[in-house]
Structure 1
Amino acid sequence: MRTDIFARLDREPEPPKIETPRMSRHRIALFGGTLAFYLAIVVAVLMSSWLVALDWKVMLFRPYQQWPEIHAALDYYVVLGQRGPTAVMVACWLGWRSWRQHTLRPLLTLGASLLLLNLTVGAVKIGLGRLGPHYATRIGSAELFAGGDIFPSGHTANAVVTWGILAYLAATPRARRYLSAMSAIVSLGVGLTTVYLGTHWLSDVLLGWAAGLLILLGLPWVEPLITRAEDWIFAARARLGAPGSRPAAPVPADDAPAPVPAVQPAAQPAVQPPAEEPAAQGPARGQAGRPPAANGRPRPHPAPATAHAVRSERSPVTPAGSRRPPHADRAPRGGTAPARPVAGG
C-alpha cells in the first residue's frame, strides 16, 4: 500500500480552501517601515555612529561573565536559531499539514522563505564583511570589510523566518495571533542570547530581526510563483504516473503484430425443403426417412433451379468419385441411370 504524500492526497476528501494572504495596505505599510529601519541600521554602522559605540559597550560589559550560571542553558537555547535543526523541525510539522490539507503549499512556502533568507542575508554578510566581537581588532571600529560574515545575525533572521512561517500559514486568526507571539518571543530570545554569548554585536541582532521580518512581510508577492510551482509538480506527477511505477514503453512499429483481417462468412444458398415422400421400410445408413434406390443408394432430391453452389462449397473429387448424390436429371459419369423404385403398396 502506498504511504507517500501523493497517495494521501488521492484518498482523502477535498478539504476547505485556505485563504492565501494578500499584500494589503497594512502589510505594505509595515514592509515599508521595516525596510526603512533596515536601511537606517546599515547606514548607522557604515558611519560608525552611536550604534557602533553601543555595540562596544555591550561587548566590553561581557554578559556571559556577569551571569555565568545561565551560560549552559543558553547554549542549548540558541539552537532554536540554527538553520539546520529548526528547518527540520518546522518541515516535519508543515509536511504533516500538507498531508492533512492535500496541498504542497506549506512546504513550498517554507522552501521559498529559506531561499530568500539565504540570498538576502548571505549577500549582505559577504558584501559588508564585518568581524564578530571575538575577532575585533580596534576598539570603536565598525570592523567592516574585514572578511567577516557576522552582519546581520543569521541566527536571529533564521529564527524570525522559521518560526514566523508557522504564523504566516495559520488557518485561523486565533492561531495566527498565538503563533505570532510565540515566534516573536523565540526570535527575540535567540537574538539576545547571541549578544550574551558574545558571538554577535547588538546591531547585528537588530538587522537580523529586520531582515527576517522583511521576508515574512513580502511573502504574498511570492505566492503566485508558489502556486505555479505546485501546479507544475502535480502536472508532472500526472504525466509520469503513480509513484513507484513506470509508464508503459511504446511498442516499436516493426515489432507490432499485423492486424488480422476479418473473415466474412460465405453466403449459404437457400435450400428449399424437399417434398414429402413415403418413408421406406428399411432406410439406408445415414439417410433416415429416404427410400433407397434399386442399387442401394439413397434417392437424391432434385436441387432447386435457382440455387447454385459456390466453388468453395463443392466437395472435393477423389479417385473413388464424388460423394455428392448424382443429379436427378443426368446420368452419372461412367454408369447408367439409377432405377426408380416401383410405386405401390
Structure 2
Amino acid sequence: MRTERNLTRLDRVFARLDREPERPAHLDVPKMSRHRIALFAATFAFYLAIVWAVLVTSWLVRLDWQVMFFRPYQQWPEIHAFVDYYVVLGQRGPTAVMVAAWLGWRSWRQHTLRPLIALGVSLLLLNVTVGAAKIGMGRLGPHYATTIGSNEMWLGGDIFPSGHTANAVVTWGILAYLASTPRARRWLSALSAVVSLGVGMSTVYLGTHWLSDVLLGWAAGLLILLALPWFEPLITRAESWIFGLRDRWYARRARTEPVKEPVSTPVVLTPPPASDREGTPAREPVSASRSRTPVHLAPGPHTARSERTPVTPAGSRRPPHADRHSRNAAPAARHLSGG
C-alpha cells in the first residue's frame, strides 16, 4: 500500500517559492467600484477638512501646540531608542528597497511586471502630490515654530503633510493592493494601517511633526491607494510595451549573431605518379581499397592445432657447406695412409 507524505508548513512555504509555469489567471485587478469611489470621496473630504482647520487656526492647531509642549520624548524617554528605529519604516529609501525586492520576486514568479510598475506609479504619485502640498503650504515644524498658537503656514517649511506617514501608507499599503486573495488583502490592509499610524505617532513623539501633519499624511497616502485602479490601463499598456521591447531586442540579437559553420577536415591532394600521367589507368590507394574491401587473413574453416597436417620444409634451411653431410647419408670412407 502506497502512502503519501504529509506536507509540513515549511514544505508548503518552499513550494510557494517555485516559479509558476505561466502567468496565473486568478490574479485579481482592483476596479474603481462604487464602494471605492465612496471611500475616495470621504477621504478627500477629510483631507480638505484638515487643511481648512489648520488654515483658520482652529482647535486642531491648539491641540498641536498642546502636544508639542507636552514633549512626549521627555515623558517616556525609555522608548526613545525603539522609536528611532521604528520611524525608519516610513523613510522612502529603505522601505522602497525592501518592498521592491519582494515585488520583484513576485514579478519573476508570476511572469508579470504589474507589481513593480504599480509600485513605481504609486511612488510617482506620492512624490508629485505630497511634494506639491508641502511646498505650496510651506508650514514650519515644531522645532522651528516662531509664534506660539499660530498655524506657521507659508513660512518656507516642508512638513505639511507628513511625508513619513504618507510614504508608510503607500509603501506598505501597495502590498495589500496587490494581494492575490481577499483574505490576504484584508490582513495586509490592517497591518499597513497600524504601521503607518505608528510611524506617524513616532514623528509626533520625536517632535518633528505636528499631530495635524500626521492626519493629513495618512489621508494623502490613502487617496493614492484608492486612486490606483484609475491607472490600471496605463500599467497594462506599460507592461505590454516593455515585453514588446524585450521581444524585439531578442529577435534583433538572434539576427546579428553569426552562424557557426561545421568545421571540415582539409583534404590534401597529391599529384598522380608519372605512369598515370602518361595514360596508364590509375591505381586506387591501398588505404581506400582496404577500407572498402574486407580482408580475411585466414580464409576457410578454422581447425584445431592437433588436426592440422604437419608441413615439412623441403630441404635443409642451413646453407650448403663442403664439410657437412646429411644425417641419413653414410659417412664416406677415409683413406688410411702410413704403415
Shared fold, TM over 0.5: yes
Separation of aligned partners in 2, 1:105 and 1:14? 11
1:156-212 residue CA offsets vs partner (Å, 9 max, x unmatched): 000000000000000001111111111011001000000000000000000000000
Q: Which has the higher contact order (CA 8 A, sep 6+)?
A: 2
Question: What residue number does 1:127 align with?
Answer: 136
The answer to whether structure 1 residue 27 and structure 2 residue 27 are counterparts is: no
Q: Where does 1:4-43 land on structure 2 (aligned, <5 Å)?
A: 12-43=21-52
Q: Are 1:167 and 1:175, in contact at CA under 8 Å, matched by a contact in 2? A: yes
The answer to whether structure 1 residue 240 and structure 2 residue 249 are counterparts is: yes
The answer to whether structure 1 residue 213 and structure 2 residue 217 are counterparts is: no
The answer to whether structure 1 residue 81 and structure 2 residue 119 are counterparts is: no
- After superposition, the CA RMSD in angstroms is 2.1
Q: Are 2:138 and 2:155, in contact at CA under 8 Å, matched by a contact in 1? A: yes
Separation of aligned partners in 1, 2:118 and 2:241? 15
Separation of aligned partners in 2, 1:218 and 1:242? 38
Question: What residue number does 1:137 align with?
Answer: 146
The answer to whether structure 1 residue 193 and structure 2 residue 202 are counterparts is: yes
Separation of aligned partners in 1, 2:129 and 2:43? 15
Question: What residue number does 2:313 align with?
Answer: none
Separation of aligned partners in 1, 2:88 and 2:112? 30
Q: Where does 1:94-133 land on structure 2 (aligned, <5 Å)?
A: 94-133=103-142
Q: Where does 1:1-345 land on structure 2 (aligned, <5 Å)?
A: 12-241=21-250, 245=253, 248=256
Unpaired runs of at least 5, structure 1: 1-7, 251-284, 287-345
Separation of aligned partners in 1, 2:119 and 2:152? 33
Structure 1 runs (4+) greater than 4 angstroms displaced: none
Q: Are 1:240 and 1:247, in contact at CA under 8 Å, matched by a contact in 2? A: no
Separation of aligned partners in 2, 1:242 and 1:165? 35
Q: Are 2:22 and 2:110, in contact at CA under 8 Å, matched by a contact in 1? A: no
Q: CA deviation at 1:17?
A: 4.0
Q: Secondary structure at the residue paired with 2:256?
A: coil
Match for 1:186: what amino acid? V
Aligned-pair identity in percent equals 77
Q: Are 2:40 and 2:226, in contact at CA under 8 Å, matched by a contact in 1? A: yes
Q: Are 2:50 and 2:216, in contact at CA under 8 Å, matched by a contact in 1? A: yes
Q: Are 1:18 and 1:171, in contact at CA under 8 Å, matched by a contact in 2? A: yes
Is the helix fraction higher in 1 or 2? 2
TM-score normalised by L of structure 2: 0.69
Q: Secondary structure at the residue paired with 2:241?
A: helix
Separation of aligned partners in 1, 2:64 and 2:163? 17
